[in-house]
Amino acid sequence: VGRISPLGLGDDTAQVTPHEFVTKMLEAQSDRINVVLGTCSGVDTNQGTGTNRKITAVKYLPRGGDDDNAEEAMLAADAVIVSAGPWSCAAEDWFRGAVELPMEGIKSTSIVWKKPEGAEQVDATALFCGE
């Protein structure tokens, strides 16, 4: 067992379910955005070199239908945010060496549970374990 130290005192921390968080964010901006579901497979760029190369589109495999025969689609873009947490390093190849992310994804377990019926408050304590 390694060192354990508090991350917060409960009144200044929170835990959210990623699905619930994203769903609420999308609902709040539904009049300003269009959601496209799929699996990102890369980016397309203009013919520039080095730092002069600009992103022009995101390549993806659309969700749904026959995934084995899905054709790659393109979504025009002039900027891209890669927000896959520690798995973002999987996107390094998309940028042909222009981006290096000093991290690595580690599969771990998280437990999400519903507040017990009748409970007024739920203890915000969480334990994060290192490797």
**Per-residue pLDDT reduced to its tens digit, 40-93:** 888 888 876 666 778 899 999 998 756 667 789 999 998 888 887 777 888 888
User: What pLDDT digit, counting tens, does each position of 13-46 carry?
Assistant: 666 777 888 889 999 999 998 888 888 888 888 8
Given a cut of 60, whether residue 125 has pLDDT beyond it is: yes
Q: What is the pLDDT of residue 54?
A: 85
What are 76's two structure tokens? 């025009």
Which segments of the chain does DSSP mark as H helices, in order? 18-28
The predicted model gives 116-122 an average pLDDT of 80
Q: Which long-range contacts (CB under 8 A, 24 or more apart) does 61-64 make?
A: 62/36, 62/37, 62/38, 63/37, 63/38, 63/39, 64/37
**Which residue, 114, 108, 104, is CA-closest to 17?**
114
SS3 at position 45: strand
Q: What is the pTM of this model?
A: 0.59
| pLDDT recorded at residue 31 | 94
Banded model confidence at residue 122, pLDDT cuts 50, 70, 90: confident
Nearest CA to 129 among 4, 7, 15? 4
Instruction: State the average pLDDT over residues 103-126.
Output: 70
